[in-house]
Amino acid sequence: MKNRVPLIAGNWKMFKTISEAADTAKQLANLVSDVEDIDIMIAPPFTALAAVSEIIRDTRIDLGAQNLFWEKEGAFTGEISAPMLIAAGCQYVIIGHSERRQYFGETDETVNQRIKTASTAGLIPILCVGETETQRDDQKTFSVLDKQVTKGLESLILDEHHSLVIAYEPVWAIGTGKTASPDQVQEVHAFLRDLLEKQFGNMHANATRILYGGSVKPDNASELMALPDIDGALVGGASLKPDSFARIIHF
Ligand code: PEP
């Protein structure tokens, strides 16, 4: 029996200008105004955070960012800090997305610094982990995930004020239309929960939401969400259109 409130999170990546993001947020807010028992988060690009924050202020949609840097301020051209995200209205921040690892040189060490910074600042970090197709074919899925979680969360402190979300996103399923099978997803999520238990103890392992991400669509959301260790979804492509994202939220 799951006692965790599901979280459906939308990662808008590098899509939408300020006005497009505001428009999408407005439409989404109308479409999900009846939702009660599910947490909802959208992560627009940095430029649209403040505008979207205003629009979702009195709704049950929360705001997330797609990354942060670990220093508070300074000569770090192009970076964004935790206090800046909080001032823009964010409650969550996505960290270690596979696109950041693949194209922007993120490592488990830099992911760990970002995670700890986010958590200390009062943001809820969403740690993204996942294996590539080659790693899965080479039977390395579990060792890859073990390293990403153990190093990514090293010396993180969880307590009643500091929680965490994990998103399992097999790289081969992101934006490809290929979804991991329910058996594959449940097997990995149970493994991740065991890792959390080893690192943080039973209470935090049970309280931590583990999302699945990778080509989640309105027509596969309910099957995935019914699995015992799946507590929601991190949605890329299908979160860009209010209608399809709302259908996923109504799984
Ligand atoms: C993502 O980028 O986090 C993601 C899951 O993308 P998509 O839903 O498009 O596969």
Whole-number Å distance, alpha carbon 133 to ligand 1 midpoint, is 15
The mean per-residue pLDDT over the stretch 108-130 comes to: 98
Best residue for ligand 1 mutational test, from 15, 219, 234, 249 (most atoms within 8 Å of Cβ): 234
Separation of alpha carbons 206 and 162, rounded Å: 14
6: CA distance to ligand 1 center in Å?
A: 18
Q: How far is the CA of 10 from the centre of ligand 1 (A)?
A: 9
Mean of the per-residue pLDDT values of the chain = 96
**Measured between alpha carbons, how far is 194 from 33 in angstroms, rounded to an integer?**
35
Q: Is the pLDDT reported for residue 205 higher than 90?
A: yes
Q: Could you identify the atom of ligand 1 that is nearest to the CA of residue 128?
A: 3
Q: What does 9-59 look like in DSSP terms, one character per residue? A: EEE-TT---HHHHHHHHHHHHHHTTT--S-EEEEE--GGGHHHHHHHTTTS
Lowest-confidence pick of 125-134, 159-168, 175-184, 200-209: 175-184
Confidence of residue 71 (pLDDT cuts 50, 70, 90): very high
Catalytic residues: 97, 169
Atom of ligand 1 nearest to the CA of 237: 9
* 98 has a pLDDT exceeding 90: yes
pLDDT range class, residue 175, cuts 50, 70, 90: confident
Is residue 170 in contact with ligand 1, taking CB distance under 6 Å?
no
- Work out the pLDDT band at 1, boundaries 50, 70, 90: low
Domains with residue ranges and CATH for the chain: 7-249 (3.20.20.70)
Q: Which atom of ligand 1 is nearest to the CA of 169?
A: 5
